[in-house]
Amino acid sequence: MSKKLTCVLIALTCCLGALAQKSDVILGKWTSPNGEDQILIYKKGAKYFGKLDWIKYPNDETGKPKTDKKNPDKSLRTRQELGLELLKDFTFDGDNVYEDGTIYDPKNGKTYSCKMTVDGTNLKIRGYVGISLLGRTETWTRAK
């Protein structure tokens, strides 16, 4: 009986390890469609987050670092865009899908519900309000 239990535990451990590796396929740097931004996706606990890790034009017209000037919270408008956490609280839902998170757009200061799907070297980001049908999809590529 104990040999069977040991075999089951070993098999379960292997399956869980494989699932964790599959869920972490999203980790790393991704480039926006226009090639002007790179987002670093990382994991905190069981959730996935992403921050603005590189900007082609990091400074504004005055030569100072770009800030989060469109943020609806006035106290956050002085924080730099570089390093800003844009993706928050995603959970892995299987089949390379990450759901129940949000995406922040510093260009307009709005936060949207979001779903992400990894498809090879592409990451489909769907930001929406209310239901997924009312949204927009962008395709990011894995940074080299």
pLDDT digits (tens, 9 = 90+) for 77-125: 999 999 999 999 999 999 999 999 999 999 999 999 999 999 999 999 9
pLDDT band at 12 (very low <50, low <70, confident <90, very high): very low
CATH code that applies to domain 2-142 = 2.40.128.520
DSSP 15-32: HHHHHHHHHGGG-EEEE-
The closest alpha carbon to 42, from 80, 89, 109, belongs to 89
Greatest extent of the chain over all pairs of C-alpha atoms, in Å: 73
The gap between the terminal CA atoms of the chain, to the nearest Å, is 50
Note the pLDDT of residue 19. Answer: 41
pLDDT band at 18 (very low <50, low <70, confident <90, very high): very low
Q: Are 114 and 101 in contact (CB under 8 A)?
A: yes
The closest alpha carbon to 42, from 23, 27, 22, 24, belongs to 27
User: Would the pTM count as exceeding 0.85?
Assistant: no
Query: Helix, strand or coil for residue 94?
Result: coil
What's the residue count for the chain? 144
